[in-house]
Structure 1
Amino acid sequence: MNKIFSVALLLAGAALPVLQACDKGEDTPENTAAPTSVASLRFIGEAKVPFRQDYSGTTLGGFSGIDYRPDNNSYYLMCDDPSNLQPVRFYTAALAFDEKSFSGVTFTSVTTLKRPDGTTFPRAGADATAIYGTIDPEGIRYDAATGHILWSSEGVRNLSPTLPGPVTNDPFLREANLDGSHVAQFGLPALFQVKATENGTRSNGSYEGLSVSPGGRFVFTAQEEPIYEDGPRAAFGVPATTRIVKYDKATRQVVGQYAYRLDAVHKAPVPATEFQLNGIVEVLALSETKLLVMERSFAVGATPDYVVKIHEVDLAAATDVSSLNGLQGASYTPVTKRLVLDLATTGIARVDNLEGMTFGPRLPNGHFSLIMVSDDNFAMSQITQFLAFEVIP
């Protein structure tokens, strides 16, 4: 197996050759800075990775997070496989695009993430606590100040009566070396712990995405869905409220929580009793108080089944709700949000389960690029898509 694996994309039905990665990503001050505001996003192109493609003995797919590293023009991709197929891991890749088209993805390495004791995460089914996996890996960011990886897990909550006992593994935000070895863990508010009762974090509803603020002082993440104390989940016709979480990177402790109003699910599932959700799946810092937020809505049987929207969010005037053990009936000011892009308006043939988002290198006109990636859930009915955009300031 070759160490480097290239994937050609299909654009307008024709296969194009994989080009060298865009060379605009040298580590210069003008390229490492992030946009401070995003007026709009212009769609450039799409690249797709074949279903369950093998790379170096691992299965590509399940990409739930992406981050750009400017100094070597590479991208880190989190795989959300909880060791069902292979050990928990992230990939390194190069993307080839310019202001006119997106021509390919080249995978260059895969790295296994380790537990604090240096062992790999156990395969699902290996023991009673791992029948459905011990973690749910989701977010990833490269921290240029330390040369480390920050990554998150949503935790696991499974109360199936067929299990010998409830699986209640807390979400986490961790720091790791580039070889996947553990460095440190960030503090978790007690309110976000996973419990066997209807308290705290919902199953598959916690730290989905994360971002480091420009300058590196803060780390942002979010509860994908409301904790039980903050009210019901979003549904068709029913909006919800969840929390954006702000960490001090130096102390690794939470320094702020802010209420975020989720949209209702875009359509009713078919039949109406089927699964539906809307939640925050990624955050991308513009400043120490402004973020881009990716909301992803899904309804089984609906057309379309996925709707993804990008909002610009401002925390400056919002109430810090850290002291509130529940938002239902409480008095507070939520963050403000402005719609930047509804992916349905781009003309993309299918918007799939987008979960990752990062700023990329500057384009020849000086504007930043932005890349999104989808998590195909390792399902044949879904796709792994990379989408490139121009950031209009």
Structure 2
Amino acid sequence: MNKLFPAPALLLAAAAFPLLLSCDDDDAPDTDTAGPPTSVASLRFIGEKLVPFKQDYQGTTLGGFSGIDYRPDNNSYYLMCDDPANLQPVRYYTANLAFDASSFTGITFTGVTTIKRPDGSNFPSVAADRNNVIDPEGIRYDAATKHIIWSSEGVRNVAVTPAVLTNPFLREANLDGTHVAEFALPPIFQMKATDNGSRSNGSFEGMSISPGGKFLFTAQEEPIYEDGPRAAFGVTSTTRIVKYDKATRQVVGQYAYKLDAVHKEPVPSTQFQLNGVVEVLALSETKLLVMERSFAVGATPDYLVRIYEIDLAAATDVSSVAGLQSATYTPVTKRLVLDLATTGIARVDNLEGMTFGPKLANGHYSLIMVSDDNFGASQISQFLAFEVMP
């Protein structure tokens, strides 16, 4: 089946996962939202919930939560799983979250849906067909069409023969997971066997639909080869925010975004490190929240996540610029909203998803973040709830 809905929903209960709040709770979030805030002054931490490692849900493995989006009309959340069909078919989940301005009390998973290829078949696993494997990452619910839009970062592996070169993509799908359409991919973002185009695991990770639904934003997680080296300890880099016309599915703008350096030196210094844009969340047709996630093997802490508010209004459209290293342009402006290291959260893990939720009883919006545990026992699947301070 393409879509599985359980006869009861899986409730993460007991001491760590209490029952959902009832609908008549005076402190429950207000689901009658008119749209997201147009600016975010700061974020106040409300609470955290964890999903147990490799929890089973309807024959699938929970984890790998790389994207989240809120659907106001039924108070539900869409969650992308980044399993590339190695455990089970490529899929997304739906869930309900229970929180108010003072506490985060529960997560209930309510459905799992297999996402299909354009021909209606399932995506293959790496073992079955490495040349057609994908890297699912982001998800948004489009209220105008009642479809989802989702992303894959693509796959580039030049260490094998023939080289694996699977392009990143943005696709639109029905809620049952069947394919609808694909957004245009500029040649500059294609995977190539030479050091050109997108880096593997560094392309379209997050995305967001602008208020009013006219535009879709995404970002290159890391720089394309032509735009310069990756971020490292003591080394900043430049990547691109990409703006699509949602109706035509064509790119209408690209903007340079200055990434921070990696927060710590890996241990030893030759080990893996990165910093990149893992999520964007539109505030208007020119303003977005950006989630930058930095990681360094062996460092303490190993992850650092910062939320920035950015503005494209005065930035140069670099769509026609083949490489940014020697180009002259004005990048987007960025303002720090939150460094999650300052929240007191015991462990900030591999956060990759972010969405506005419903309004709280005081009229302020909520914001939810989610982490991708990479299906690894040393990591956690964490959901974090915040109050948006205007």
Query: Could you say which residue in structure 1 is the equivalent of 2:342?
Result: 345
1:290 is matched by which residue type in structure 2? Answer: K
Calculate the TM-score normalised by the size of structure 2. Answer: 0.96
Return the alpha-carbon distance in structure 2 between the equivalents of residues 127 and 286 of structure 1: 40
Correspondence for 1:73: 75
- Structure-2 change in CA distance of 1:79 and 1:21 (3 Å): farther
> Would the alpha carbon gap of residues 128 and 175 (structure 1) be closer, same or farther in structure 2, given more than 3 Å must change?
closer
Q: Distance in 2 between matches of 1:128 and 1:392?
A: 46
| Cα distance in 1 between the residues matched to 2:336 and 2:292 | 10
Unaligned runs of 5+ residues in structure 2 are 1-5
Moved over 6 A (4+): none
CA shift digits 1:311-347 (9 cap, x unpaired): 0000000000000000011000000000000000000
| SS across alignment from 1:107 | strand
The structure 1 residue matched to 2:96, chosen from 76, 87, 94, is 94
Spell out, residue by residue over 1:249-301, the C-alpha distance to the aligned partner (whole angstroms, 9 max, x if none): 01000000000000000000000000000000000000000000000000000
Give 1:2 deviation, angstroms: 5.1
Q: Whole-Å Cα distance in 2 between the matches of residues 315 and 194 of structure 1?
A: 26
Of 1, 4, 10, which residue of structure 2 is paired with 1:5? Answer: 10
State the partner residue of 1:152.
151
Deviation at residue 21 of structure 1 after TM alignment: 6.7
- Residues 95-110 of structure 1: matches in 2 within 5 Å? 95-110=97-112
Partner of 1:15: 16
User: Match for 1:237 among 209, 213, 234?
Assistant: 234
Identity of aligned residues (%): 77
- Quick one: distance in 2 between partners of 1:315 and 1:239? 20
Q: 1:57 to 1:324 in 2, by over 3 A?
A: same
Distance 1:305 1:2 in 2: 40
Mapping of residues 121-140 of structure 1, within 5 Å: 121-130=123-132, 134-140=133-139
Match of 1:205 in 2: 202
1:8 to partner: Cα distance? 3.6
Structure 1 residues 70-89: Cα deviation after superposition (integer angstroms, max 9, x where no partner): 00000000000000000000
Answer whether contact 1:8 1:103 (CA < 8 A) is retained.
no
Equivalent position amino acid for 1:81 in 2: D
| Structure 1: stretches of 5+ with no match in the other structure | none
Deviation, 1:90, is 0.1
Distance 1:113 1:16 in 2: 28
| Distance in 1 of aligned mates of 2:273 and 2:140 | 28
Query: SS in structure 1 opposite 2:128?
Result: coil
Deviations 1:352-382 (A, max 9, x none): 0000000000000000000000000000000
Partners of 2:335 and 2:327 lie apart in 1 by: 24
Asked if 1:24 corresponds to 2:21, the answer is no
SS at match of 1:254: strand
The TM-score normalised by the length of structure 1 is: 0.95
Contact 1:42 1:389 (8 Å CA) reproduced: yes
- After superposition, residues 104-123 of structure 1 pair within 5 angstroms as 104-123=106-125
> How much does 1:104 deviate?
1.1
Taking structure 1 as reference, are residues 8 and 347 closer, same or farther at Cα in structure 2, changes over 3 Å only? farther
Q: Secondary structure at the match of 2:320?
A: coil
Does the CA contact (< 8 Å) of 1:25 and 1:70 recur in 2?
no
Call closer, same or farther: CA 1:292–1:325 in 2, change over 3 Å: same
Paired amino acid for 2:136: P
CA distance in 2, matches of 1:16, 1:153: 31
- Once residues 19 and 255 of structure 2 are traced to their aligned partners in structure 1, the CA distance between those partners, rounded to angstroms, is 43
In the other structure, the counterpart of 2:3 is none
Deviation at 1:20, TM superposition (A): 3.1
